[in-house]
Every structure is written in structure tokens, then in C-alpha cells.
Amino acid sequence: MKLFAIWLLSLKYNLILSFFLELSYHQPMAEKESKILKALSLTLATGLGSGYSPVVSGTCGSAVCLIFWLVVHYFVFPWTPITTFIAALICTVVGLIATAEALKYLKGKDPSQVVIDEWAGMLVTLVAVPTQFSLMHILAAFFFFRFFDVVKPFPARELESLPGALGVMIDDIVAGGYSAIMLWSIFHFLLKS
């Protein structure tokens, strides 16, 4: 019985010791996870790195999003307004999460490197592009989105002042909405495409 008590006591201390050793063992893992989270959030928030363009990062981010959309359309599956809308929703949710994390590492309220908001806004704009589109449709979508993103008509500019990731993302979503309405009106009423 004494032997069993000694064994049990040593087991208890071994479990406690192994618990603390396990914690210290996983400390580097936590650092690795932190580095991975930082890299992932910055990669997503910068639009796969397109936000690091030294000039007109918003335009560059929008162009890379458009190229990505076209590559997926021609090589993976054809986009429809519904699938583009779903992609815009996913991009918005991912953008909010990635931007919230990226703002911890980048300077400013709305750092120029963060262009996932342009991606989301561009995708909202592309919802209005017909399933059978031409180069004219794509160029018009790009032009209108960049125009409304720069001009920021009401309430885009006011919403931009919201705190954190929401303020970064929402003005571009609104610009994308204005662009989609403009494109849809032109394509369906004026050009009847």
C-alpha cells in the first residue's frame, strides 16, 4: 500500500511537471501561430500583396481583383451575378476579419496597403456585369468602381469614419453598390445588353 501511495504521489507530481513542460513546449508553437496569423491576415488584407504597389494601391488592388475574377471565369467556372454576389459576401466577411488583424501591424486608420476593401467593392460592382459580358462591360465596371471609390458619394465618405475594419471596408462596399446600380442601369436600359 505504501508503494502504491508513493507511486500515486510521484504520478501526481509527474503530471504537474509534464503539464508545465507541455506549456513551455507549446510556447514556440503559439509564436509560430501568431506569425502565421499575421502573415495570413496581411496577405488577405493586402489583396494577395497587390496593396504593396508603391503608387495607386487602390487601383492596383481593384485591377488584380478584376484579373482574378477573369481568370476564375475562364479557367475554373463561369461567374454569374449570384456567384459573384456570394464571392462579394465572402470577401467582405474575410476582409473584415483580415483587416481587423492587419490594422494591428500597419500604420494609420485606413492604410493604403489594405486593398481587400477594393476587392470586395469591385466584386459588388461585378454583380451587375451580365453573364455574357464583353471587354466593354469589364472596363465600364472598373471605371465606375474606381470613380465612385475616389469620389465617395453620400453616405460612403461618412461611413468611412466608422472605427476599425468596418470603416475601412464599408465605403468601398457602398462605392461598389453605386457602381453596380449605374452599370445595371446603363446595360439594361440604355444598351439593353
Torsion angle of the four alpha carbons 111, 87, 123, 188, in this order, in degrees rounded to the nearest 10:
-160
Indicate whether 181 pLDDT > 50.
yes
pLDDT, average across residues 123-147: 92
pLDDT, average across residues 50-77: 92
C-alpha angle 78/143/57, rounded to 5°? 95
Question: 98 pLDDT band (50/70/90 cuts)?
Answer: very high
pLDDT, average across residues 66-86: 92
d(CA 189, CA 175): 21
The pLDDT value given to residue 165: 92
Report the chain's mean pLDDT, rounded to a whole number: 85
Indicate whether 125 pLDDT > 70.
yes
pLDDT, average across residues 112-123: 95
The pLDDT value given to residue 8: 41
Pick from 62-66, 74-78, 83-87, 179-183: least confident: 74-78
Indicate whether 137 pLDDT > 60.
yes
Secondary structure of residue 9 in the 3-state scheme: helix
Question: 109 pLDDT band (50/70/90 cuts)?
Answer: confident
Pick from 15-19, 31-35, 68-72, 78-82: least confident: 15-19
Residues 6 or more apart whose CB falls under 8 angstroms from that of 64 comprise 47, 48, 50, 115, 119
